[in-house]
Structure 1
Amino acid sequence: MLNITRYLWVLVLIVTLGGLWYPYLGYVMAVVMLTLMITAVFRGRWFCGNLCPRGSFNDFVLNKISRKKNIPGVLRSLWVRVPLFILIMSLMIYRVSIVFATRNMFEKIGVILVSMCIVTTVAAILLGGYYNSRAWCTVCPMGTAQRIIGGDRYQLKMAHDLCIDCKKCEKICPMELTVRDIGNNPDCIKCGRCVEACPKDALYF
């Protein structure tokens, strides 16, 4: 996790609230989407754990009120995640196609991006408020895209001979992953909290 990570949640408020009056703020969403697609090629879901504004919101704001129930396994299923990705992306492309080449096109596209941010933020609050605050991140379309693009990149490694099976790493993992088997888990968000929590320095990237 980067030093700036804990402050990025402010961007969620700026876009979801400020975007109601100034739609061009929606283009922050476009920048975020483009950036995460690029980083995914090299580091998989690293963006989710280090630069994602909503991930920061989930960790440092939503986590304070979350009931912290275990994330349902169904949210991890690609049978749910891929169709959701296709649905949301299709709706966005369709809405953009309607306003394309019309008057005030860029402002209208901004409205579309802001509305998408609002809808997904509400979904994140509902899921994260009841389950683990990162519940949305397990089903997030952008997280799924990063998994598909580079889920096998920049994997967490473990020196098994040093591990004392204290499970501190798993208790602190925001994605509720089984860290001992994480070498092949493309949904690791590379936040590094498990590495910091390990008393034996058995984990590393």
Structure 2
Amino acid sequence: MLKITPYLGILVIVVAIAGLWYPILGYFMLVVFGTLLVISPLRGRWFCGNLCPRGSFSDFWIAKISQNNKIPPILRSLWIRVPIFLLMMGFMVYRLLQTHGLFNQIGMVFVIMCLATTIIATLLGFFISPRTWCTFCPMGTLQHILGKDRYQIQLKNDKCIACKKCDKVCPMQLEVRKALSEKDCIKCSRCIEICPKNALAFKN
């Protein structure tokens, strides 16, 4: 996790709320999309765990009020991910076509998308777990597809003492030692940082 990661969540509020009055803020979403598309082929879902404003919002804002329940396994399924990805992308394209290329209207489409997904993420984060949205986030799914097996966690079995501290800090509720190639790993490094035996490391 980067030093700036905890502070990026404010950007979600700025775009989702202030964007209703200043649609130009919606274009920030294009910066986000562009950045993750550049990073994901090299590091998979690294963006999710380090630079994603919504991820930061979930980890450091929603986490304070979350009921911290177990994330339902069905939400991790491609049967959920793919339809949601197609539905959201299709809706966004449809709305963009209706703008007829008008600058402010295009910006407002992105603002509404940000606001809607933030509301969903907040509700899921409160009633289930902070990162529930991230298990089926369309952008997270796309990053995994583009990154495949890049930048995976590597376990040094001879050093691991099975203390499970890594599992406890994983925001995606993964059993880290059993999920080294898990598509939901967001490369946040928390498991690496807390390991008392330095048994975990990223493999390029």
**Fold in common (TM above 0.5):** yes
Deviations along 1:51-99, one digit per CA (max 9) or x if unpaired, are: 0000000000000000000100011001100110000000000110111
Q: 2:75: which partner in 1? A: 75
Aligned 1:1-205 pairs, distance under 5 A? 1-101=1-101, 105-205=102-202
CA drift of 1:38 comes to 1.3
Letter in 2 for 1:54: R
Q: Percent identity?
A: 56
**Is 1:45–1:151's contact at 8 Å kept on the other side of the alignment?**
no
Q: 1: distance between equivalents of 2:116 and 2:134?
A: 14
Q: 2: distance between equivalents of 1:39 and 1:182?
A: 22
**Is 1:24–1:110's contact at 8 Å kept on the other side of the alignment?**
yes
Compute the TM-score of the two structures, normalised by the length of structure 2. Answer: 0.97
**Is 1:151–1:187's contact at 8 Å kept on the other side of the alignment?**
no
**Structure 2 residue ranges without an equivalent (≥5):** none
Counterpart secondary structure, 2:121: helix
Letter in 2 for 1:147: H
Compute the TM-score of the two structures, normalised by the length of structure 1. Answer: 0.97
Q: 1: distance between equivalents of 2:159 and 2:196?
A: 10
Letter in 2 for 1:68: N
Q: 1: distance between equivalents of 2:148 and 2:37?
A: 12
Let me know the Cα RMSD of the aligned residues. 0.8
Runs of 4+ in structure 1 deviating by more than 3 angstroms, as ranges, are: none
Letter in 1 for 2:167: E
**Structure 1 residue ranges without an equivalent (≥5):** none
Deviations along 1:95-123, one digit per CA (max 9) or x if unpaired, are: 1011134xxx1100101000000000000
CA drift of 1:190 comes to 0.4
